[in-house]
Amino acid sequence: NAGVTQTPKFRILKIGQSMTLQCTQDMNHNYMYWYRQDPGMGLKLIYYSVGAGITDKGEVPNGYNVSRSTTEDFPLRLELAAPSQTSVYFCASSSPTDGYTFGSGTRLTVV
């Protein structure tokens, strides 16, 4: 049982480049989330989804986009990378009975 799988684990981007952070879960959870954690800060919600085809903005959505074409996958897209997007990104899924399961994170540096 893999849980929540995030790829890549590390990435360095140049300013203005774009990339997609991948997230897949195998628990059939309807709810999925993207959080970012800046140094010394808590996790802040970027985007979330309550099911396939449905996404909504969280607390810090600017500069990001998401899609949810299947229950399993919830990719996060950065279109024009900026230094302010240097952070650790966590994908998570949840259900009322299972609670939250987090991926191991993607450490992104924008230079």
Partner 1 sequence: DQQVKQNSPSLSVQEGRISILNCDYTNSMFDYFLWYKKYPAEGPTFLISISSIKDKNEDGRFTVFLNKSAKHLSLHIVPSQPGDSAVYFCAASLSGGSNYKLTFGKGTLLTVNP
Judged by beta carbon, residue 62 or residue 96, the one nearer partner 1 is 96
The amino acid at residue 9 is K
- Binding residues (CB under 8 A) for partner 1: these are 4, 31, 33, 35, 40-45, 48, 58, 90, 92, 94-96, 98-100, 102-105
| Minimum distance, C-beta of residue 12 to partner 1, in the bound complex (Å) | 17
What HEC string does the chain produce? CCCEEEECCEEEECCCCCEEEEEEECCCCCEEEEEEECCCCCEEEEEEEEECCEEEECCCCCCEEECCCCCCECCEEECCCCHHHCEEEEEEEEECCCEEEECCCEEEEEC
**Least distance (Å) from partner 1 to the CB of residue 16?**
28
- Quick one: 4 or 18, whose CB is closer to partner 1? 4
Q: Of 17 and 104, which CB lies nearer to partner 1 in the complex structure? A: 104
CB of residue 104 to partner 1, shortest distance in Å: 5
Nearest-approach distance from CB 105 to partner 1, in angstroms: 6
